């Protein structure tokens, strides 16, 4: 009781109106959208939790940095500002800007991944997996088993199982271009990786002479959890923890739309000049010249400022406390949520919410549709639709967890918005037994979740 309540370490200077719709309008809108939440117009959404990617609110300092952006095609001042910030916070000498995270993956994997390769890691994100499988290579998920039980409390559910990782490396040694660790794991419920685990992964990579890359979209949130949960880090700053994490990596891919709080942007950073040269060829081909790679100068300027702001504790504390607030409120109301709560999102466990709907009829997608209809809240399915079919057999491959992700944009919503989400889910919970599954109407051959359409059963 004596503890001062947390408050956001900022005040709001500009607001954007959002529109309310009636339940009837939402029933029609989602039908027109083919029961795919991606196909909705954002105007028809009240609280948009489809992603925390590119949806954050920039600070006054970021906006003013944009005004100072240098739009030179080559040698932009803003590129060097970004490069220097990356060097000082993450420690890498070589940087290639890209238009977003998957573009960084495309460029890096063009240089490193070939047909038949095996890429071990922890809960590879869908674009990572997509770009690896597109090259007829395979991801092997070495995440610890505890990660797949949504009720089990474990401080670092993003950790790799070191024995499994080593076995995989021994088995496929000659076909492994690198190991990739995702910090935090988006697909795994926004769960972090401990520094102890990252160090152990590094040791295995050293033993087998393999490079280690971090998929770093939410690296600052990962560092926050290390500070909060791992012994010996409570008194370190976020920037000190980040430095200790990244000294272990040979390079990183980054979707700056998350932990650098920009609306668009990404980059690859690395230590090796040789790799930089290899990647440069693909960067120029796919993204743009080496000092802009698909980004406007002003966006690189905002990115540099965002990286600095988002590696400060008070900001991260307020952000993650808001996510936790939503999780606790849902739990209080008896809604089955994945625990521990993620850094950027709360994940609703569709297997416990709708146990009567088999995974091949997409219960998490059903839940997302019903939450939208009830309250105008848009989440996203992280389940069988996202998992895609097996690329070889074309069979469905339902994942171990079936989740509705409610990703909270950074610095955008208040806790009153969180209450609307709680209210909506309670309403769906009350009528959960009446809900039926879905069937696919259309699906693309890869990354189908973005464009698939469905029929109600
Ligand atoms: C862990 C992770 N890696 C990579 C990406 C891809 O980034 P982008 O959406 O910027 O292409 C994402 C996006 O959500 C992500 O969460």
pLDDT at 1: 63
Ligand 1 touching residue 127 (CB < 6 A) = yes
- Residue 125, judged by CB atoms within 10 A of its CB (0-12, 13-18, 19+), counts as buried
Residue nearest to atom 9 of ligand 1 (CA): 101
Starting at the edge strand found earlier in the chain, the sheet holding 212-215 runs: 94-98, 266-270, 251-255, 212-215, 179-182, 118-121, 138-141
Q: Is 126 a catalytic residue?
A: yes
How far is ligand 1, taken at its centre, from the CA of residue 15, in Å?
27
Q: Known catalytic residue: 81? A: no
Question: Is residue 251 within 6 Å of ligand 1 at its C-beta?
Answer: no
Distance 127 CA to ligand 1 centre (A): 7
Q: Which residue has the CA at smallest separation from atom 8 of ligand 1?
A: 101
* Probe target for ligand 1 pocket from 258, 382, 405, with the most ligand atoms within 8 Å of CB: 258
Q: Which atom of ligand 1 is nearest to the CA of 266?
A: 10
CA separation for the pair 113, 61 (Å, rounded):
39
The reply to whether ligand 1 has any atom less than 6 angstroms from the CB of 215 is: yes
Q: Domain-by-domain residue ranges, the chain? A: 23-52+312-456, 60-309
Considering the four listed CATH numbers 2.60.40.1930, 3.40.462.10, 3.10.105.10, 3.40.640.10, the one that applies to the domain covering 60-309 is: 3.40.640.10
Two tokens, residue 78: 């803003």
Which residue minimizes the CA distance to atom 14 of ligand 1?
53
Mapped to the 3 state alphabet, what secondary structure does the chain carry? CCCCCCCCCCCCCCCCCCCCCCHHHHHHHHHHCCCCHHHCCHHHCCEECCCCCCCCCCCHHHHHHHHCCCCCCCCCHHHHHHHHHHHHHHCCCEEEEECCHHHHHHHHHHHHCCCCCEEEECCCCHHHHHHHHHCCCEEEECECHHHHCCCCCCCCCCCECHHHHHHHHHHHHHHCCCEEEECCECCCCCECCCHHHHHHHHHHHHHCCCCEEEECCCHHHHHHHHHHHCCCCCCCCHHHHHHHHHCCCCEEEEECCCCCCCCCCEEEEECCHHHHHHHHHHHHHHCCCCCCCCCCHHHHHHHHHHHHHCCCHHHHHHHHHHHHHHHHHHHHCCCCECCCCCCCEEEEEHHHHCCCCCHHHCHHHHHHHHHHHHHCEECEEECHHHHCECCCCCCECCCCCCEEEEECCCCCCCHHHHHHHHHHHHHHHHCHHHCCCEEEEECCCCCHHHCCEEEEC
Per-residue pLDDT of the chain (457 residues; tens, 9 = 90+): 688 877 899 999 999 999 999 999 999 999 999 999 999 999 999 999 999 999 999 999 999 999 999 999 999 999 999 999 999 999 999 999 999 999 999 999 999 999 999 999 999 998 999 999 999 999 999 999 999 988 899 999 999 999 999 999 999 989 999 999 999 998 878 999 999 999 999 999 999 999 999 999 999 999 999 999 999 999 999 999 999 999 999 999 999 999 999 999 999 999 999 999 999 999 999 999 999 999 999 999 999 999 999 999 999 999 999 999 999 999 999 999 999 999 999 999 999 999 999 999 999 999 999 999 999 999 999 999 999 998 889 999 999 899 999 999 999 999 999 999 999 999 999 999 999 999 999 999 988 999 999 999 8
Q: How many C-beta atoms lie closer than 10 Å to residue 149's C-beta?
A: 14
449 assigned to active site? yes
Tell me, yes or no, if 286 is annotated catalytic.
no
pTM for the whole structure: 0.94
Residue 125 near ligand 1, beta carbon < 6 Å: yes
Distance, in Å, from the CA atom of 58 to the CA atom of 389, rounded to the nearest integer, reads 37
Buried b (16+ CB within 10 A) or exposed e, 83-105: bebbeebbbbebbbbbbbbbbbb
The catalytic residue among 83, 257, 417, 449 is 449
Q: Which two tokens stand for residue 141?
A: 């998920």
Which of 19, 73, 84, 457 does the annotation list as catalytic? 73
Provide the pLDDT for residue 119.
98
User: What CATH number is given for 23-52+312-456 in this structure?
Assistant: 3.90.1150.10
């Amino acid at each position: 009781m004596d503890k001062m309540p947390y408050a956001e370490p900022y005040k709001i200077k500009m607001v954007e109106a959002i529109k309310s719709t009636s339940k009837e309008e939402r029933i029609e809108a989602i039908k027109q959208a083919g029961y795919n939440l991606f196909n909705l117009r954002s105007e028809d959404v009240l609280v948009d939790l489809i992603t925390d990617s590119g949806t954050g609110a920039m600070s006054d300092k970021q906006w003013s940095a944009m005004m100072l952006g240098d739009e030179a095609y080559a040698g932009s001042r803003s590129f060097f500002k970004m490069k220097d910030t990356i060097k000082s916070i993450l420690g890498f000498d070589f940087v290639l800007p890209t238009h977003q995270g998957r573009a960084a993956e495309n460029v890096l994997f063009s240089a490193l991944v070939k047909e038949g390769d095996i890429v071990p890691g922890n809960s590879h994100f869908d674009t990572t997996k997509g770009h690896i499988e597109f090259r007829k290579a395979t991801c092997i998920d070495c995440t610890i088993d505890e990660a797949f039980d949504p009720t089990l409390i474990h401080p670092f559910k993003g950790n790799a199982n070191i024995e499994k990782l080593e076995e995989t490396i021994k088995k496929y040694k000659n076909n492994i271009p690198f190991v990739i660790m995702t910090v935090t794991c988006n697909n795994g419920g926004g769960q972090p990786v401990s520094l102890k685990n990252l160090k152990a992964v590094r040791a295995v990579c050293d033993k087998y002479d393999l490079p280690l890359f971090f998929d770093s979209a939410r690296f600052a949130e990962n560092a926050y959890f290390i500070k909060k949960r791992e012994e010996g880090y409570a008194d370190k700053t976020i920037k000190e923890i980040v430095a200790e994490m990244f000294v272990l990596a040979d390079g990183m891919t980054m979707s700056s739309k998350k932990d650098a709080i920009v609306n668009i942007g990404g980059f690859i950073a690395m230590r090796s000049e040789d790799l930089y040269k290899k990647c440069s060829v693909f960067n120029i081909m796919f993204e743009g010249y080496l000092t802009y790679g698909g980004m406007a100068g002003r966006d690189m300027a905002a990115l540099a400022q965002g990286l600095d702001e988002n590696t400060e504790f008070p900001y991260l504390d307020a952000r993650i406390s808001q996510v936790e607030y939503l999780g606790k409120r849902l739990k209080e109301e008896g809604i089955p949520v994945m625990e521990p709560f993620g850094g950027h999102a709360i994940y609703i466990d569709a297997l416990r919410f709708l146990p009567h709907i088999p995974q091949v009829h997409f219960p998490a997608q059903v839940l997302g549709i019903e939450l939208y209809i009830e309250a105008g809240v848009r989440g996203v399915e992280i389940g069988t639709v996202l998992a895609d079919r097996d690329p070889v057999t074309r069979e469905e491959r339902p994942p171990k967890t079936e989740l509705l992700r409610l990703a909270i944009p950074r610095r955008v919503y208040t806790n009153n918005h969180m209450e609307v989400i709680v209210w909506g889910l309670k309403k769906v919970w009350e009528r959960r037994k009446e809900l039926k599954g879905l069937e696919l109407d259309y699906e693309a051959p890869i990354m189908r979740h973005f464009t698939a359409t469905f029929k109600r059963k």
